């Protein structure tokens, strides 16, 4: 017996009924430098793997390739969902590339920040089902990528952490990072976590809903495919309108203040005190390497 | 000893001090077709029972009767609170009647949608204390009725489920369904639940606050009466102003966009693709019956 | 090994690196009547103790002293954080002084309400790290003081309770009390708690996030100092900008409606029915004493 109000599978139009099972039999793959994309046409699911060692930094090039890949998939009628993960061990993405924010021209800062905005607008506003399979550390901009998806599964490894830790570097997450975060964990947890620049170990992140579930790392992609199948069982049109209803206000807010947001970023990042903090941080990273 | 800042019962004006004990000794009862209403003048509590078999669908007639009943009680100085439950086994309400949305005229759709709005404006904005005693399945519009009350108690039967499952039928809950839901469970849970059109079994619904508590079905009304007594122990005036402060922004938003919301509904429901979905759903329901 | 994206202590500018250890070696102390303030210059942490027996009522004098103390510390470059606690056993603060709202002139009500607003604007908008060490009952305005801090630690004594219980007295918390509360516990819990005028025992308050943690009463100040050190480990500038980003909308809302809010208060408190409730409450308190 079917509970009242539920449309049983037998009544669904054929298009909704495509078996979305994985593992993916790759059908088309984009030739990219920093992101590997494979679309399985039978399931309608694309696998997007970040492969920009050592830490999948969100450089200008990376962001541009990310946005173009998302646009291609969005316009491909064969694609209904994307799983986002990393091909680099232990790291999902380390976030915005500090090199792009250090000692560059005003024009460069503007171009870089516009690329960050563009990536978020495409990902947070995507019509596709987006599932993040977080298989490593995911600080700052890396966390934003995960937050912008429809669902987050993380490897249940307490050594992996996730969070908007900008305050630790002496910088501030912009309002749309903050609002994306608040929409997921609520105002209070966001207020505390953002002020402390907290990086939450996977179990803690799961406890307050920053990620939706934890699975052993080796089962991450399998579980992502199962979750994707669950979301794709819904009619696309109704799901997309519902998603838009939930996210439109926030997307519109950035679109309306995009140039102002770029100006704010340039003015903040150009400050000598901020540049000094970032240079010290980069020095420290270099010493670590050698 | 009385904790600081608490007004002890002894200081309360007589009107606040009426013993609200149940079971109700029915004093007045409305003669209705689809909803049975009994007001106990000694406690100031009305019991409202949906009795429109087979599934308490929110038809135009049902909604009209519901709104008129609420208005009568609202204007009755003897009434301070309402308990809403179902007289039909296993179902609280199946939600909006699909017959009213299928193959009808534009005028009919407008009249129907205005009645849905009217019901919600009266219930969500009621000055009375409203307690939902959810004694069965409560999908879609049935869930909205429960969400619009001040407190939700559900039978702790895992076979009973509740949720805004519109997406499963290929349709989309309007913004005020969504906002009512977000106000109770938060943005993240609402986003996921609405996109998946989830129907949550009672224990799950309780876990994330969609219902406030679970009790064995046979104790549902007894517990509803006890909760009502707790809420009625507060001075009406302060409680009503507080409720209005919490709900006014959302109520005002629908009032300001009421005609636009009706137009949106008509334009959406008139689409051939949507009509086809609903016809298929109704065919399926008919086959089940026979 | 340092997790990616975290600025290690070694790279921090000297100002961020001051050891904030406690117990405080008092360096400067203000001579006040109702609030004792001691600033430890080595840690940058001030200890603020309410000492206005019997119940630390927020009278006009108390509020004025509170605002002036906050302003002094805010302008003192040696001070980066404040711990707020009570020197009166079993009570943090009983909230707004009812004497100030009973049988006074319109001018007095206006002056009093402006002082309440002033205190909240300074505390909720403070650039300093503010930690509430709630060592006793904390109803109504006492709860607001705690809610306005960055972090709340409460003595794990189930006899101590906290909440915005205005509805119990027949009065209504203003919108900015409500919004401060909603930002911490979410819309649903706030709606229910405000309507019922609930005073939550410490364990319950902790369960839904009204306070951040519970510790045995004798360890309250020690733990507050440790939490303070954790917050002060962050660069002030980034933390302050982040705090402002989270709280500015709400602060701006009161600033924009300040005069209107005063008028509302005067008109509400001047009603004969409200005055009668408050007089009855004061009578009851007097009887208790004798």
pLDDT tens for C222-277 read 999 999 999 999 999 999 999 999 999 999 999 999 999 999 999 999 999 999 98
Which residues, 6+ apart, have CB-to-CB distance to B74 below 8 Å?
B122, B126, B127, B128
Instruction: Inform me whether the pLDDT recorded for C3 exceeds 80.
Output: no
Which residues, 6+ apart, have CB-to-CB distance to B127 below 8 Å?
B74, B236, B240, B243
Subunits next to C (3 or more Cβ pairs <8 Å) are A, B
Q: Which residue of C has its CA nearest to B231?
A: C196
Dig out the tokens for C180 from the structure. 């401060």
Q: What's the whole-number mean pLDDT along residues A136-165?
A: 98
Q: Convert the pLDDT of each residue in A215-232 to its tens digit.
A: 999 999 999 999 999 999
pLDDT on residue B89: 97
Instruction: Inform me whether the pLDDT recorded for C74 exceeds 80.
Output: yes
Residue with tokens 């380390």: A94
The H or E element that residue A62 is part of is helix A60-74
Q: Cβ–Cβ of B172/A243 closer than 8 Å? A: no
B155 DSSP β-pair partners: B215
Q: Contact C80/C45 with Cβ under 8 angstroms?
A: yes
Which residues of chain C lie closer than 8 angstroms to A178, CB-CB? Answer: 245-246
Testing the interface with B: which of C188, C202, C279 to mutate, by most B Cβ within 10 A?
A: C188
User: Is C49 exposed, middle or buried (CB count within 10 Å of its CB: 0-12, 13-18, 19+)?
Assistant: buried
Q: Which residues of A are catalytic?
A: 96, 141, 165-166
Dig out the tokens for B29 from the structure. 């009862």
Q: What's the whole-number mean pLDDT along residues A85-104?
A: 97
pLDDT on residue C27: 53
B231 vs C: CB within 8 A: yes
Q: Which residues of chain B have pLDDT under 70?
A: 1-27, 31
Q: Contact C133/C83 with Cβ under 8 angstroms?
A: yes
Q: Cβ–Cβ of B239/C55 closer than 8 Å? A: no
* C-alpha torsion A125→B207→A216→A147, nearest 10: 20
pLDDT on residue B277: 86
Average pLDDT, chain C: 90
Subunits next to B (3 or more Cβ pairs <8 Å) are A, C
pLDDT on residue C238: 94
A86 DSSP β-pair partners: A50
Testing the interface with A: which of C12, C208, C242 to mutate, by most A Cβ within 10 A?
A: C242
Q: Cβ–Cβ of C161/B3 closer than 8 Å? A: yes
Q: Cβ–Cβ of C5/A186 closer than 8 Å? A: no
Q: Name which of A196, A223, A58 is nearest A134 in CA terms.
A: A223
Residue A24 pLDDT grade (very low, low, confident, very high; cuts 50, 70, 90): very low
Q: Nearest CA to CA, how far is B126 from chain A (Å)?
A: 27
Chain A, residues 120-179, CB within 8 A of chain B, namely 150-151
pLDDT on residue C26: 45
The H or E element that residue C133 is part of is strand C129-134
**Given B166, B169, B214, B278, the catalytic residue:** B166
3-state secondary structure at position B133: strand
Q: Which residue of B has its CA nearest to C278?
A: B7
Residue C7 annotated among the catalytic residues of the structure: no
- Residues of chain C with pLDDT > 70: what percent? 90
Residue B283 annotated among the catalytic residues of the structure: no
Residue B170 annotated among the catalytic residues of the structure: no
pLDDT on residue A27: 54
ipTM score assigned to the predicted complex: 0.89
pLDDT on residue C2: 31
pLDDT on residue A194: 98
Distances in Å between the alpha carbon of A52 and those of A36, A86, A120, B217?
Answer: 10, 9, 19, 57
Residue with tokens 């009213």: B100
Q: Contact C79/C44 with Cβ under 8 angstroms?
A: yes
pLDDT on residue C25: 40
C-alpha B182/C-alpha B249 separation (Å) is: 13
Q: Which of A6, A230, A235 is closest, CB to CB, to B165?
A: A6
Q: Convert the pLDDT of each residue in B171-203 to its tens digit.
A: 999 999 999 999 999 999 999 999 999 999 999
Q: Which residue pairs, CB below 8 angstroms and at least 24 apart, start in A287-290?
A: A288/C2
Chain B, residues 6-45, CB within 8 A of chain C, namely 6-8, 10-11, 13
Q: Nearest CA to CA, how far is B50 from chain A (Å)?
A: 16
pLDDT on residue A30: 72
Which residues of chain B lie closer than 8 angstroms to C144, CB-CB? Answer: none
Q: Nearest CA to CA, how far is A234 from chain B (Å)?
A: 6
Could you give all domains of chain C from N- to C-terminal order, each with its CATH number? 27-289 (3.90.226.10)
pLDDT on residue B31: 61
DSSP assignment string, C157-218: -TT-EEE--GGGGT----HHHHHHHHHHH-HHHHHHHHHHT--EEHHHHHHTTSSSEEE-GG
pLDDT on residue C162: 98
Q: Nearest CA to CA, how far is B232 from chain A (Å)?
A: 31
Q: What's the whole-number mean pLDDT along residues C131-150?
A: 98
Q: Nearest CA to CA, how far is A7 from chain B (Å)?
A: 6
Q: Which of B170, B199, B281 is closest, CB to CB, to A238?
A: B170
Testing the interface with C: which of B1, B3, B5 to mutate, by most C Cβ within 10 A?
A: B5
The H or E element that residue A72 is part of is helix A60-74
Which residues, 6+ apart, have CB-to-CB distance to A31 below 8 Å?
none
């Amino acid at each position: 017996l079917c509970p009242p109000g539920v449309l049983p599978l037998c009544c669904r139009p054929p298009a909704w009924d495509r078996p979305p099972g994985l593992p993916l039999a790759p059908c088309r793959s984009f030739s990219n430098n920093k992101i590997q994309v494979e679309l399985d046409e039978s399931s309608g699911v694309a696998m997007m793997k970040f492969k920009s060692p050592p830490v999948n930094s969100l450089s200008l090039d990376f962001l541009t390739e990310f946005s173009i890949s998302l646009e291609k998939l969005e316009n491909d009628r064969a694609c209904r969902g994307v799983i986002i993960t990393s091909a680099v061990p232990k790291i999902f993405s380390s976030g915005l590339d500090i090199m792009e924010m250090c000692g560059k021209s005003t024009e460069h800062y503007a171009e870089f920040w516009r690329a960050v905005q563009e990536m978020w607008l495409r990902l947070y506003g995507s019509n596709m089902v987006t599932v993040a399979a977080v298989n490593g550390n995911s600080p700052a901009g890396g966390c934003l990528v995960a937050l912008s998806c429809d669902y987050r599964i993380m490897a249940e490894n307490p050594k992996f952490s996730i969070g908007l830790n900008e305050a630790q570097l002496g910088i501030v997450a912009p309002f749309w990072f903050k609002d994306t975060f608040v929409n997921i964990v609520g105002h209070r947890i966001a207020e505390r976590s953002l002020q402390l620049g907290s990086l939450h170990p996977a179990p803690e992140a799961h406890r307050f809903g920053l990620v939706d579930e934890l699975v052993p790392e080796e089962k991450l992609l399998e579980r992502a495919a199962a979750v994707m199948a669950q979301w794709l069982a819904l009619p696309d049109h109704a799901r997309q309108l519902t998603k838009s209803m939930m996210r439109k206000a926030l997307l519109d807010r950035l679109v309306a203040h995009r140039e102002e947001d770029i100006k704010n970023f340039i003015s903040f990042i150009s400050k000598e005190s901020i540049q000094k903090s970032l240079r010290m941080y980069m020095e420290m990273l270099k010493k670590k390497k050698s």
